[in-house]
Amino acid sequence: MKLRVENHLCTGHGRCYTHAPDVFEPDDDGFCDRRDEDRVIAPTLERDAKDGAHSCPEGAITILDD
């Protein structure tokens, strides 16, 4: 599975890394780290990644393939 965090949509609520700290991390400003890049998610973390993505109120996280 792959996902992408859109920089222009992320406003730093932090719900993604609160719900899925093994997948998402904050940067120094509280936004999701590694924005605007396609990320490969390990199969063991797919459920956490989906939970984090669904928790984003801006919809900044897109699951690219399932």
18: domain CATH number? 3.30.70.20
pTM: 0.89
Phi-psi group of 16: left, alpha or beta (phi > 0 → left; psi -120 to 50 → alpha; rest → beta): alpha
Count how many domains the chain has: 1
Residue 66 has pLDDT above 90, yes or no: no
11 is in which domain, residue-wise?
Answer: 2-65
- The model's pLDDT over 36-64, given as tens digits with 9 standing for 90+, comes to 999 999 999 999 999 999 999 999 999 99
Burial bucket for residue 8 (CB in 10 Å: 0-12, 13-18, 19+): exposed
Q: What is the pLDDT of residue 65?
A: 79
Contact 42, 55 (CB under 8 A): no
Mean pLDDT computed over every residue of the chain: 95
